[in-house]
Amino acid sequence: MSSSMTITGDNFQSEILQSPIPALIDFWAPWCGPCKMIAPLIDQLAEEYDGRIKFGKVNVDEETALAEQHGIVSIPTLVLYKNGALAGQKTGAAPKHDIEALFKELI
């Protein structure tokens, strides 16, 4: 059973950019209602796609530099990386199938 890992400025390079599989990052904050709405969906997808895609979470309040580096101005924002390069992005709460569509063709 997989779950989303915490991504920080310290592990971004090794966990996301150097990941051998696509990685989806959820930029969120604990006070964000829409972030809380999609959190269970992200957890479900992490279990369903365990080993095929990596899921990470970045708390924008704790990792402001990482959020700024990605140009995050609204949360939740999902950012997808493949082979160390930006492969997609989606801002706002979305149903599970929309989140899945962001990465499904890459795996």
pLDDT per residue as tens digits for the range 4-25: 899 999 999 999 999 999 999 9
Residue ranges with strand state E in 5-84: 5-6, 23-28, 54-59, 77-82
Q: How confident is the model at residue 86 (pLDDT cuts 50, 70, 90)?
A: very high
Per-residue pLDDT, averaged over 84-107, amounts to: 94
Q: Which domains does the chain have, with CATH numbers?
A: 5-92 (3.40.30.10)
48: annotated active-site residue: no
Which residue among 16, 35, 66, 79 is the active-site one?
35
pLDDT of residue 34: 97
80: annotated active-site residue: no
pLDDT of residue 82: 96
Phi, psi of 24 (to 5 degrees): -110, 125
Helix axes 33-48, 96-103, angle to 10 degrees: 60
Per-residue pLDDT, averaged over 30-40, amounts to: 96
Per-residue pLDDT, averaged over 20-42, amounts to: 96
Which residue among 25, 32, 72, 99 is the active-site one?
32
Q: Among 56, 60, 62, which residue's Cα sits nearest to residue 81?
A: 56
